[in-house]
Structure 1
Amino acid sequence: MPRPLRVAIVGSGPAGIYAADALLKSEVAADPGVSIDIFERMPAPFGLIRYGVAPDHPRIKGIITALHQVLDKPQIRLFGNVEYPTDISLDDLRTFYDGVIFATGATADRDLAIPGVDLDGSYGAAEFVAWYDGNPDFPRTWPLEAEKVAVLGVGNVALDIARVLAKTADELLPTEIPPNVYEGLKANKALEVHVFGRRGPAQAKFSPMELRELDHSPNIEVIVDPEDIDYDEGSIATRRGNKQADMVAKTLENWAIRDVGDRPHKLFLHFFESPAEILGEDGKVVGLRTERTELDGTGNVKGTGTFTDWDVQAVYRAVGYLSDKLPKLPWDIDSGTVPDAAGRVIEESGEHLKSTYVTGWIRRGPIGLIGHTKGDANETVASLLDDFANERLHTPASPAPEAVDAFLAERDVRFTTWDGWYRLDAAEKAQGEPHGRERIKYVEREDMLRHSGA
């Protein structure tokens, strides 16, 4: 009787789990069967959903329910707290599996090439998100001394950061934020948050719902300058062809024409302001210099030569995430992705790196919403299954599932399992119950390992 197809997936975020789901829904899952092991460097699964989504977004976090149902399938095993390539290398994975799919996402900050980015008070968005989401690999405290803050970028991550900075700690207390984050936000002195985009309202990358949520807080006054509402032919074409862009523009128009209210925290959305320099004094941020831009007819912008200095004491750079280079895999340094063809990893020679695949942000960069990752995973899995059907996969030396457990035990790797996630999940919910909260996250890795029974 033929053995099941053995596949390793590195990364347990949406991209990796969607790939597992696609494998389980394939014809191969029925005959000869599929056996999937997911490796995750954190003790807990779900990647971006757990450590990249703002805590006051329960709707988006609800995606975990669907991902949970996939990981519940008996054909899938989870190995948490296992890091590639420190604990298990590509050569090791090839010993145990017919195919390997990398779905490691993007967790670092993309560079912003302007003077002053290294000043004290200039922060990458990814670091701040990791702090307020309780990532165990980041510091437990965050300096929130600035009364006026700038956020650079007009995507959903920029909105998340602006909203978390502008809300009160008590507004966020009902969420799953850990105690150290609540205490940090209680000390937050920010009264003004300024969000800057170099292009116009039609080019903003906000989701309509996320944008409207800014206005739901009783403590946040959202302010848009009427002079920033401007469109050229390219912008009008974008609105006509993109319903979401049109909805975002309409919301911004409505905010621009209304009277400014008296909510205590002001959140300004600025357009046509391109960051030129982060201003410093004695090594610390004391301001932001922007150049006014104007539309060029195509929806793009050009500089006007007019500069403005903004009085801010901290700058958060939300200009995009960047994936970490994966050892043993080819790398496109400009895009920060692994070169591929339909999910197959492509070497410099143009040849497919046998039995090796990518999906999600490590494949196409940090663009699109979480749901877009599903189509990406389907394409990658289709390539893997095509290679399997045409006998283009290599044959692993030790395909038995127990060989992986023995390998990790021999390496003395403390790993968590799917059953361990159930235990950690129950412990976090129990921690929140006395406070009337759905859960309170554990932050320390050792606590997560202990409650998971690693």
Structure 2
Amino acid sequence: MMHLAIVGSGPAGYYTAEAALKQWGAGARVDVFDRLPVPYGLIRTGVAPDHQSIKAVARRYEATALSDEVRFIGNVTVGKDVSIDELMALYDAVVLATGAPQDRPLDIEGAQLANVFGSAAFVGWYNGHPDFAALAPDLSGTHAVIIGMGNVALDVARILAKTEAEFAGSDIVAHALAALGGKGIRRITILGRRGPHQIMMTPKELAELGKLERARPEIQAADLPDAEADAALDPGQRKSVALLREFAAASGSEKPIAIAFDFFASPVRLIGEGGRVTGVDVERNALDGETAVGTGEVRRLPANLVVSCIGYRSSPIDGVAFDARGGRFANDGGLIAPRLYCVGWARRGPSGTIGTNRPDGFGVIERIAAEVVPDAAKPGPAGFDALAGERGIDIVTFRDWRRIEAAEVAAARQGAPREKFVAIEDMIAARGTG
């Protein structure tokens, strides 16, 4: 019997559990741990609330979670409630699938000013993550600046620009919907240190900006390279740049909110008054090949809100080798140490799509099958249950989660799929209903 512990119940964790079932079938017992009482990781709290079709992948993970060989063990913090060494003593192999939940720091002067947020925090706030439910950003100002040119930056811009009616069918949490409804933002600037050919935005997400009720994308035609140069781009990137060209060519609009793309621009400092951000000093860049090089030309943008979307980092765990520069666990093809592995963003860093985690999960299971011989002396799930009982750890099971989910669905506003609990104690209380 192969006893496997997976730490993290997001896409990487559940694809790994799915791969384990295909590899060993009834010959495996898989425990999937999460520090929250609810599963699915960034599917629940990272994917934009108005992207319900993407969130639907959770149904695939549910099928794995409901199998007899897999258990969800929520409300357990590895490194606090149980150590990695203890898991290694209980299971044949341990896989870290913890993702990259921390913001990469914005390392410039003024980054600690009020109303400056990383995207993990800001996205977590409007998605109902318990760690960020009390964030309370001030959205009364007229100017927002978003740093970064990836899909997360697009998500933040779109959420800031939408009307309340445009959130119909989404699972944006009530506290965020109320705050966004009263906002005064009229200009959203997206800063990118390089040019249109280097953006990391996908066509589908970029096209959404052209369909907003009261916001219009704004592109300076002078920032676009010659159209002939687009031929060298890959197909997806070429589609994205074609959309930028359409935005630049569009005639003036009466829509009250502008979403302005500011290319070749790096923030060099944040300016504040009374401890709160009021502006961003931006340096003009030039490209040296694919590298952005500052020109020394600096201008100031007004900013009442700043959201930094420049990447994420994994959270270190005591006793596990960590690559601080890469923001991930130190590993060789997923192997951290004998019988200890990592997968997904915890292995690669924050790159790839949700689907990228599937081959990653299957790959690490193939490696475990080749390298790890099951040890009959390892007690596996029964051993953890005994340890949890001794320590009084309050485990949340998948059956508990389904009760929590049912309570969220029952509490949903009209047209919404659910109203998420944003406090862990409320989640715990809800498992006793239904």
TM-score relative to the length of structure 2 = 0.95
Give the one of 417, 428, 434 matched to 1:438.
417
Match of 1:85, SS state, is coil
When structure 1 is superposed on structure 2, of 202-211 and 65-74 the one drifting more is: 65-74
Give the one of 382, 386, 395 matched to 1:415.
395
Match of 1:25, SS state, is helix
When structure 1 is superposed on structure 2, of 11-20 and 143-152 the one drifting more is: 143-152
CA separation of 1:436 and 1:258: change in aligned 2, threshold 3 A: closer
Counterpart in the other structure of 1:305: 296
Counterpart in the other structure of 1:254: 246
Q: 5+ residue gaps in structure 1?
A: 346-352
Q: Does 1:7 align with 2:1?
A: no
Counterpart in the other structure of 2:214: 219
Counterpart in the other structure of 1:448: 427
Deviation at 1:231, TM superposition (A): 5.7
Counterpart in the other structure of 1:38: 32
Matches within 5 A, 1:88-237: 88-140=82-134, 141-230=136-225, 236=229
- Kindly report structure 1 stretches of 4+ aligned residues shifted beyond 6 Å: none
Give the one of 273, 277, 280 matched to 1:281.
273
Give the one of 328, 340, 361 matched to 1:356.
340
Contact 1:202 1:231 in 2 (8 A): no
Aligned-partner Cα distance in 2 for 1:71–1:188 = 40
> Which amino acid in 2 is paired with 1:327?
D
Match of 1:341, SS state, is coil
Counterpart in the other structure of 1:350: none
Aligned-partner Cα distance in 2 for 1:111–1:447 = 31
When structure 1 is superposed on structure 2, of 45-54 and 303-312 the one drifting more is: 303-312
String of CA shifts for 1:309-330, please: whole Å, max 9, x gaps.
Answer: 1122221111101111111101
Match of 1:371, SS state, is helix
CA separation of 1:158 and 1:207: change in aligned 2, threshold 3 A: same
> Which amino acid in 2 is paired with 1:23?
A
Contact 1:155 1:205 in 2 (8 A): yes
Q: Does 1:269 align with 2:261?
A: yes
Deviation at 1:168, TM superposition (A): 2.4
Contact 1:279 1:286 in 2 (8 A): yes
Aligned-partner Cα distance in 2 for 1:271–1:221 = 17
Contact 2:144 2:305 in 1 (8 A): yes
CA separation of 1:396 and 1:215: change in aligned 2, threshold 3 A: farther
String of CA shifts for 1:77-120, please: whole Å, max 9, x gaps.
Answer: 00011111111111221232100000000111102222111112
> Which amino acid in 1 is paired with 2:30?
I
Aligned-partner Cα distance in 1 for 2:240–2:380 = 52
When structure 1 is superposed on structure 2, of 406-415 and 165-174 the one drifting more is: 165-174
Counterpart in the other structure of 1:244: 236
Contact 2:133 2:422 in 1 (8 A): no
Contact 2:147 2:308 in 1 (8 A): yes
Q: Does 1:20 align with 2:12?
A: no
Deviation at 1:372, TM superposition (A): 1.0
- When the two chains are superposed, the root-mean-square deviation of aligned CA atoms in Å is 1.9
Deviation at 1:396, TM superposition (A): 7.0
Contact 2:12 2:357 in 1 (8 A): yes
Match of 2:420, SS state, is coil
Matches within 5 A, 1:365-376: 365-376=349-360
Aligned-partner Cα distance in 1 for 2:30–2:68 = 9
Aligned-partner Cα distance in 2 for 1:360–1:61 = 18
Contact 1:191 1:264 in 2 (8 A): yes
Deviation at 1:136, TM superposition (A): 1.4
> Which amino acid in 1 is paired with 2:86?
D
> Which amino acid in 1 is paired with 2:56?
G
Counterpart in the other structure of 1:402: 382
Aligned-partner Cα distance in 2 for 1:357–1:105 = 13
Contact 2:207 2:243 in 1 (8 A): yes
TM-score relative to the length of structure 1 = 0.91
Contact 1:155 1:204 in 2 (8 A): yes
CA separation of 1:226 and 1:241: change in aligned 2, threshold 3 A: closer
Contact 2:3 2:378 in 1 (8 A): no
Deviation at 1:436, TM superposition (A): 3.3
> Which amino acid in 2 is paired with 1:206?
M
> Which amino acid in 2 is paired with 1:21?
E
Aligned-partner Cα distance in 1 for 2:226–2:330 = 36
Matches within 5 A, 1:38-77: 38-77=32-71
Aligned-partner Cα distance in 2 for 1:209–1:29 = 37
What percentage of residue pairs aligned between the two structures are identical?
Answer: 35
Contact 2:103 2:118 in 1 (8 A): yes
Counterpart in the other structure of 1:348: none
String of CA shifts for 1:120-174, please: whole Å, max 9, x gaps.
Answer: 2221111111110101122433322221010000011111111111112342253
Aligned-partner Cα distance in 2 for 1:373–1:22 = 11
Contact 2:409 2:419 in 1 (8 A): yes
Contact 1:96 1:396 in 2 (8 A): no
Aligned-partner Cα distance in 2 for 1:154–1:450 = 40
> Which amino acid in 1 is paired with 2:361?
A
Count of aligned positions: 432
